[in-house]
């Protein structure tokens, strides 16, 4: 099956792009969503996180204290590596299952860490949604009411923009309007449908 890997830095507009494909009837497996599933209360990764970080990492309702954990792992790279070691293999297994179950002409894996996590090995082709870094900071800060410095740290922890662009099979520029983004995606959708008919 033809599988497209969709990625982009924080605030680049991956969600807008994946919404376009979903509306076109394409199955989108969201790696972020899967990442949330594997750390739900009682899951093995949740238990490991609680054991390592204690109650600071857990909210009163037993869910992960994501804000605390994000702050912790982005300021301590060693802890980030440990956390990824707990979550990435479990995320990968679940993603593989969900992609295999897709019934649409092709499927999409939407992942902010497509290249960094090695999830690009699961896909046929890669599409990067790209905006200049300044716009990333602006959009991500406005969207979640996040501290711009925190956004910059997240950008620094992700693959450098230039490298992401070099590794992409296709790139769409999302520094304009939503209509302009959709126009680019519409042309690519036709290409992917054609590609999927030769790989199925």
**With contact defined as beta carbons under 8 Å apart, do 96 and 6 qualify?**
no
Question: Binding residue per annotation — 13?
Answer: yes
Full strand arrangement of the beta sheet holding 107-110: 27-30, 107-110, 3-7, 125-130, 170-173
Strand partners, 110: 6, 30
Q: Which residues of 72-105 are buried (b: 16+ CB within 10 A; e: fewer)?
A: bbeeeeeebebbeebbbebbbebbeebbeebebb
0.75 exceeded by the pTM? Answer: yes
Question: Binding residue per annotation — 196?
Answer: no
Judge residue 177's burial from the number of C-beta atoms within 10 Å of its C-beta, 0-12 exposed, 13-18 middle, 19 or more buried.
exposed
Question: Binding residue per annotation — 11?
Answer: yes
Q: For the segment 105-123, what is each residue's pLDDT rounded down to a tens digit?
A: 999 999 988 998 889 999 9
Question: Binding residue per annotation — 25?
Answer: no
**With contact defined as beta carbons under 8 Å apart, do 87 and 38 qualify?**
yes
Res 174: pLDDT: 96
Question: Binding residue per annotation — 15?
Answer: yes
- Domain 3-199, CATH number (from 3.40.190.10, 3.30.360.10, 3.40.50.300, 3.20.20.70): 3.40.50.300
CA angle, residues 161, 96, 125, in degrees to nearest 5: 40
Q: What is the pLDDT along the chain (200 residues), one digit of tens a residue?
A: 999 999 998 889 999 999 999 999 999 999 989 999 999 999 999 999 999 999 999 999 999 999 999 999 989 999 999 998 999 889 999 999 999 999 999 999 999 889 988 899 999 999 999 999 889 888 888 876 778 888 888 888 888 999 999 999 999 999 999 999 999 999 999 999 999 988 65
């Amino acid at each position: 099956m033809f599988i497209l890997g969709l990625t982009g830095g924080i605030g680049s507009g991956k969600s807008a792009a994946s919404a376009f494909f979903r509306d076109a009837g394409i199955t989108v497996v969201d790696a972020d969503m899967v990442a949330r599933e594997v750390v739900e209360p009682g899951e093995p990764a949740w238990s490991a996180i609680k054991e390592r970080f204690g109650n600071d990492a857990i909210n009163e309702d037993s869910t992960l204290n994501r804000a605390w954990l994000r702050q912790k792992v982005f300021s301590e790279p060693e802890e980030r590596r440990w956390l990824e070691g707990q979550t990435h293999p479990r995320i990968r297994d679940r993603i593989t299952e969900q992609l295999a179950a897709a019934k649409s002409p092709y499927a999409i894996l939407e992942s902010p860490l497509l290249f960094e996590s090695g999830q690009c090995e699961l896909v046929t082709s890669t599409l990067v949604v790209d905006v200049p870094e300044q716009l990333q900071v602006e959009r991500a800060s406005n969207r979640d009411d996040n501290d711009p410095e925190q956004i910059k740290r997240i950008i620094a922890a992700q693959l450098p923009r230039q490298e992401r662009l070099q590794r992409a099979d296709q790139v769409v520029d999302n520094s304009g309007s939503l209509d302009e983004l959709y126009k680019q995606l519409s042309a690519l959708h036709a290409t992917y449908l054609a590609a999927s008919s030769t790989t199925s």
